[in-house]
Amino acid sequence: MRTVPPKSKHEILQRAIPMFAESGFKGVTMRAIAGRVGLTAASLYHHFPDKESLYLAALKQAFADRSRALGEALTAPAPPAERLRLLILRLCERMQRDSTFTRLVQREILDGDEKRLRLVAKQVFHEVFAAITALCRELAPACDSFLLSTSIIGLVVHYYQFTPIRSYLPGSRPEYDQAATVARHITTLLLNGINLKQESEFRSQDSE
């Protein structure tokens, strides 16, 4: 079946994203992308000057398409603890349902290219991470907002990275595959930890 050539950069990126998720930056060539999207290599270079610019644009688009729910959770008209609950639930839902973006990020981290990692941090994740950090400052003034933000992300991301082996471990249950169950556990764990931290800070202040 003949590939229908894409009409826009958006369509090119939509077709390139799964390729990068499957093979990583180094494993995909511009010629292969051109073949997948039904363009000549020269036509593809007309849209993107090099593979790095195409790859970064693909990451941006992949994250933008998937981050709207996170933004809605972070800006919801609700108390900080409820926004945290919504954020973690949306993160869990995304990680569970969208293996393409998860693999895309994992491959970038494994490649370990410092230049690309810096660009990805600044141009792809900066805005959402800053919003999560702001929520953490509001939620837990006594905690380090950067460490708390990375802990939130780490608890969710690692849980789903561990999925292939988790189901074979003692005590695993089918409900542990449900995003709502995982999100409730992580939210409770974090809020209890934050409360203990703040109570400890208050006790220290009272004893001075």
Which residue segment(s) compose the domain that 95 sits in?
Answer: 66-206
Give all strands (DSSP E) within 23-62, no chain letters.
none
Half-sphere exposure of 193 (CA within 13 A, CB side): 13
Selection from 31, 32, 135, 144 nearest residue 86 by Cα: 135
Residues 6+ apart with CB under 8 A from 15: 6, 33, 36, 37
Element spanning 206, H or E: helix 179-207
The pLDDT value given to residue 128: 92
Query: Any alpha helices (H) in 98-178, and if so which ranges?
Result: 99-111, 114-120, 126-139, 145-161, 163-166
Same domain, 93 and 33: no
On whether both 40 and 126 belong to a single domain, the answer is: no
**Dihedral, CA of residue 141, residue 146, residue 152 and residue 158, to nearest 10:** -160
Q: Give the residue, 164 or 1, on which the prediction is more confident.
A: 164
Report the pLDDT value the prediction gives residue 198, as an integer from 0 to 100. Answer: 57
Do 32 and 132 share a structural domain? no
**CATH number of the domain encompassing residue 95:** 1.10.357.10
Number of helices (H), then strands (E), belonging to the chain: the values are 11, 0
pLDDT tens, 149-169?
999 999 999 998 888 899 899
- Greater confidence (133 vs 4) lies with 133
Alpha-carbon distance of 185 to 166, in angstroms, equals: 16
Question: Does 2 reside within a domain?
Answer: no
CB neighbour burial string for 131-148, b if at least 16 within 10 angstroms, e if fewer: bbbebbeebbeebebeeb
Count of residues in the chain: 208
d(CA 157, CA 21): 16
**Does the pLDDT at position 205 exceed 80?**
no
pLDDT at 202: 47
Q: What mean pLDDT comes out for the span 114-138?
A: 90
HSE-CB for 191 with a 13 A CA cutoff: 13
Pair 158, 90 in one domain: yes
Give mean pLDDT, residues 98-107: 81
- Shared-domain flag, residues 128 and 114: yes
pLDDT band at 102 (very low <50, low <70, confident <90, very high): confident
pLDDT interval class at 1 (50, 70, 90): very low
- Model confidence, pTM: 0.80
Per-residue pLDDT at 63: 83
161 and 179 together in one domain: yes
Answer yes or no: is pLDDT of 62 > 90. no
The total domain count for the chain is 2
- pLDDT cut 70: percent of the chain above it: 90
